A and B are shown apart, each in its own frame.
Chain A
Amino acid sequence: MKSKKAFEITLNNTLGALLAIAVIVIFFIAIYQVYRAANSGDKNAQTTLDTITAKIEALKNDETTTIEIIKFNSPKSWSLISWNRDENRPDKCLFENCLCICPGTSIDSCQNEGYCRFFEKETIEAITIQNYTYIDTYDGQEVFRTNKIIPLKGISINSGEGQIIKTLQLTKKENKVSITIEESKEEYSNRIPTGGL
């Protein structure tokens, strides 16, 4: 009888202990998942910036290459922005030219929440080339049409419905690196022309 009672106590205790462990483990996994989800956008943004930086560093003068960017899920709208020594820029760029990925296009957003990589020799230009046909009308009649090209400072990384993958073109000439992407007018989303910042 005694051993039977001991068995019951052991069983109940073990059950309770295991239940507690299970709850704790599941609790920590849940916390970890929430943490991971909250930070995955920032991590993906940094990975994207590092990939682009590696390409730039491998690029020689007069070479052109491409890089594909996969859209990632993030509550923030990340943009690739270049800041050179001759312009008003985030303090974190110090005395170097820098390429940043920021959850916005302003100096403040890069300074406070962005991630930057520095370039000593190269000047960097990250722009979106918006190309569309401009049609002028007079009295309802089409009088002329012209292709307008508007360079916009910065490149949107994870916006654009249906754009799972984007191709950026990287060109290096006389230590000036141009990172460009072409967009149609429909893809335009609150971007600021170069000189507008």
Chain B
Amino acid sequence: MNKKGERQVSLVLLVTIVAVVGFVIILYVLMQFIKSDDYSDESCRFSILTRASVPGPAEGLIPLKCTTGKICLVTDTKESCPQFIGEENTKIKISTSGGVEKSAEDISKILANSMYDCWSMTGEGKLSLFSGKDPTDFISDQFGVEITRPICLICSRVALSQELENREDILQEVNMGEYLRTTVVPGSSRTYLNTFTDKQVNSYPQAFQANLSNQSGKQTNEIAFVFSQMVVKNEAAWQSAIQKGSSTGIAVGGALLTPAGRVLGIVGVVPNLVATTIAAGISGGIAYVNQGQNLALAGTYCGAFTSQERETGQGCSLITPVDWNNKTSLNTLCAGGIEGTL
């Protein structure tokens, strides 16, 4: 190689090394910034965006600085939620002076906003947050087994005070599904349902409506809004994983809806309808999530994850309400672990 060629090779090497060193230093600085004890929403959002922007193996270096928000719904400010004793929580008073329907709508509004905040905070499910490999993944890969265990982030918990829990007249009127269908997201021209489904859905499928009249829901005094993500290598793998459902914790049933009169919606199983949402895939959708014997409404995204500059694998993300008292459901839905701070 002549001198000119050597110099060119050296220059390429120099640029490469500068780029690598620069990246490592920037990553280190970001890590230090994120490692501060700030667990605010902004810090959480920043850590999510940072993690989604780095290559998969480096994701593990970026901790998610997210703390589960705790909302206590009360009918009087003197009331409290016993499960939040000793923990920072936000009390929201549900006024009972405007009638039962108004109170129920207020509860629906808080639930819908919590779900929307979780959806928005996690990049509408389109960002890859958990594709970093851990040793168990490595071992599994050696045997050609695809990893399909979903990992969770618990965005928020909404609990009822004892007094509100006893107001069955109000709780019977709560209909989150209908609220999502008919109410416009604040600051937007689209309904929650429309927003969660990328403008695809304006109303729930007819097949689903039939289940509403035959609902056998359960009540709970606490709901958690959970972001759950399953990362796989290719489209066939995640479609297969979703269809198997029970083994992954993400069994999605077609459309959705929470039954009227229940704080947490739970309807009969509709295991096959999902396929239409999923197969069309690569887009936002809305679905039921299997939670033990129950189903709950979920905002979904299945397909390729993206960042600003690159594709970061494939998989499925869900944002769904979960009965917080049913740990079996949580353990299944979050079989790969839970990140963030409770």
B207 within 8 A of A: no
Give chain A residues whose Cβ lies under 8 Å from the Cβ of B17: 15, 18-19, 22
Give chain B residues whose Cβ lies under 8 Å from the Cβ of A57: 86
Please give me the residue from chain A that is nearest to B151 by CB atom: A164
Contact with B along A32-53 (1 / 0, CB 8 A): 0100000000000000000000
Instruction: Flag if B85 contacts A29 (CB, 8 Å).
Output: no
A26–B61 alpha-carbon span in the complex (Å):
13
For residues 118 through 167 of chain A, which have their beta carbon under 8 Å from a beta carbon of chain B?
A: 162-167
B234 within 8 A of A: no
Instruction: Flag if B7 contacts A8 (CB, 8 Å).
Output: yes
Given contacts A164-B334, A164-B335, A164-B338, contact A59 B86 (CB under 8 A): yes
A195–B306 alpha-carbon span in the complex (Å):
56
A197 within 8 A of B: no
A175 within 8 A of B: no
Given contacts A8-B7, A15-B13, contact A25 B338 (CB under 8 A): no
Instruction: Flag if B82 contacts A63 (CB, 8 Å).
Output: yes
Instruction: Flag if A11 contacts B11 (CB, 8 Å).
Output: yes
Instruction: Flag if A65 contacts B14 (CB, 8 Å).
Output: no
Please give me the residue from chain B that is nearest to A72 by CB atom: B337
B21 within 8 A of A: yes
Give chain A residues whose Cβ lies under 8 Å from the Cβ of B218: none
B18 within 8 A of A: yes
A66–B21 alpha-carbon span in the complex (Å):
47
For residues 47 through 71 of chain B, which have their beta carbon under 8 Å from a beta carbon of chain A?
A: 61
A68–B337 alpha-carbon span in the complex (Å):
14
Give chain B residues whose Cβ lies under 8 Å from the Cβ of A19: 17
Q: How many residues of A contact B (CB 8 A)?
A: 33
Q: Which one of B21, B87, B327 lies within 8 Å of A167 (CB-CB)?
A: B327
Give chain A residues whose Cβ lies under 8 Å from the Cβ of B338: 70, 164-165
Within the complex, what minimum Cβ distance (angstroms) separates B229 from chain A?
A: 14
Contact with A along B14-32 (1 / 0, CB 8 A): 1001101100110010000
Give chain B residues whose Cβ lies under 8 Å from the Cβ of A54: 86-87
Give chain A residues whose Cβ lies under 8 Å from the Cβ of B87: 54-55
A106 within 8 A of B: no
B342 within 8 A of A: yes
Instruction: Flag if B337 contacts A71 (CB, 8 Å).
Output: yes
For residues 291 through 333 of chain B, which have their beta carbon under 8 Å from a beta carbon of chain A?
A: 327, 330-332
Give chain A residues whose Cβ lies under 8 Å from the Cβ of B28: 25, 29
Instruction: Flag if A18 contacts B86 (CB, 8 Å).
Output: no
Size band of the B side of the interface? 20 to 34
A14 within 8 A of B: yes
Give chain A residues whose Cβ lies under 8 Å from the Cβ of B7: 7-8, 11
Interface residues of B: mostly helix, strand, loop or mixed?
helix
A19–B14 alpha-carbon span in the complex (Å):
9
A164–B334 alpha-carbon span in the complex (Å):
7
Give chain B residues whose Cβ lies under 8 Å from the Cβ of A70: 337-338, 342
Give chain A residues whose Cβ lies under 8 Å from the Cβ of B86: 54-59, 65
Instruction: Flag if A22 contacts B342 (CB, 8 Å).
Output: no
Instruction: Flag if A18 contacts B82 (CB, 8 Å).
Output: no
Within the complex, what minimum Cβ distance (angstroms) separates A19 from chain B?
A: 6
Given contacts A11-B10, A11-B14, A167-B327, contact A65 B21 (CB under 8 A): no
Give chain A residues whose Cβ lies under 8 Å from the Cβ of B10: 11-12, 15
A64 within 8 A of B: yes
A114–B333 alpha-carbon span in the complex (Å):
32
Instruction: Flag if A18 contacts B18 (CB, 8 Å).
Output: yes
Instruction: Flag if B335 contacts A162 (CB, 8 Å).
Output: yes
B83 within 8 A of A: yes
Please give me the residue from chain B that is nearest to A66 by CB atom: B83
A33–B83 alpha-carbon span in the complex (Å):
36
Instruction: Flag if B331 contacts A162 (CB, 8 Å).
Output: yes
Within the complex, what minimum Cβ distance (angstroms) separates A27 from chain B?
A: 11
Within the complex, what minimum Cβ distance (angstroms) separates B18 from chain A?
A: 6
Please give me the residue from chain A that is nearest to B325 by CB atom: A167
The 6 closest A-B pairs by CB, nearest first: A58-B86, A65-B85, A55-B86, A18-B17, A70-B338, A22-B21
B residues sitting closer than 8 Å to A (CB atoms) are: 3, 7, 10-11, 13-14, 17-18, 20-21, 24-25, 28, 61, 82-87, 327, 330-332, 334-335, 337-338, 342
Besides A11-B11, A165-B330, 4 other CB < 8 A contacts? A25-B21, A25-B24, A56-B86, A162-B331
A residues sitting closer than 8 Å to B (CB atoms) are: 7-8, 11-12, 14-15, 18-19, 21-22, 25-26, 29, 33, 54-59, 63-66, 68, 70-71, 162-167
